[in-house]
Amino acid sequence: MRSRHKPRLWLAGVLAALAAITGRAKDEPTQSGSAQLVARAVQNEINANAPGGLHFMFRDERRTVHLNQTKLIVETREGTAGLVIAEDGHPLSTARHQAEEARLQNYIRNPDELNRKRRQEKEDADRTIRIMKALPSAFIYEQDGTQQGTESVGSPQDQLVRLNFRPNPDYDPPSRVEQVLTGMAGHLLIDTKENRIAEIDGALQKDVAFGWGILGHLDRGGRFLVQQADVDNRQWEITRMELSFTGKILLFKKLNIRSTDSFSNFHPVAPDLTFAQGVALLHKEAARIEGAMPKVP
């Protein structure tokens, strides 16, 4: 799969991030019709994100407890490039702008740093695939009706099947990457026309330990919401991601993740962009946005 800043395999991107913070399945039972539906969607997600697909530039509006941040992101063949253009609703100060520029130039001028970034994205992608492949067997699914898709969830033209899920007691996670799945319950929305996962809303029903409890745990009540939609002629992308998790890592260090990301303004870009060319596009788009803002008298 292509290495991305934004988790194109979106559920797995969320859970892989948790696995990164924290660090053999048993024979699968005969799958129910609902589990088969999930399996088809999972395989289609993986296939859709194979090398050779479209690359995009887009906007990420991030909200956390301490900061509201607007960032432009572009996907390149050498990794993703991101440029912060506003914080708390205001343009960056001169010092912050210089720091952003220095960060990007460091990748351009230091191939080792860019390679390190690319390797990290590849590791995240590998965890992503492992999580995605576990979904059909990690949960028990039950159908719970349908609902119409929207501009930001699935497609307005398609009906979405709702599947409630809970942990499968027979699932034995092969590593701590998949361990987080054992305590989750929630629902999926699947576009059966496109065989894509349009939404997943999950919460921890119990504390989940990782590393046999030595490295830490995630607290009961932690929740995530991820939505995905058709943004450009059957090209699906994440449109929203919410995370709310607390816990502890390395026995004493507290973990507190609370963030909301809204992704929008998707524009296709050339798939063979270098990182430096991607940064140039970010600067051009940032200048366009700044020029379009109303001038203050």
pLDDT in tens, 142-158: 999 999 999 999 999 99
pLDDT at 253: 79
- As a residue count, the chain comes to 297
pLDDT of residue 196: 94
- pLDDT of residue 266 exceeding 70, the answer is yes
Q: Tell me what pLDDT residue 255 has.
A: 81
The CA-based angle 117-104-257, given to 5 degrees, is: 60
pLDDT of residue 12 exceeding 60: no
Model confidence band, residue 132 (pLDDT cutoffs 50, 70, 90):
confident
Instruction: Confirm if 132 and 174 have CB atoms less than 8 A apart.
Output: no
Whether 13 shows a pLDDT value over 60: the answer reads no
DSSP bridge pairs for 184: 204
Q: Is 22 exposed, middle or buried (0-12, 13-18, 19+ CB in 10 A)?
A: buried
- pLDDT value at position 140? 95
Read off the pLDDT band of 242 (50, 70, 90): very high
202 by Cβ neighbours in 10 Å (0-12 / 13-18 / 19+) ranks as buried
Kindly indicate the confidence band of residue 290, based on its pLDDT and cuts at 50, 70 and 90: confident
pLDDT digits (tens, 9 = 90+) for 189-198: 999 999 999 9
Determine the average pLDDT of the residues in 177-199: 91
In sign, the C-alpha dihedral spanning 29, 35, 40, 41 is negative
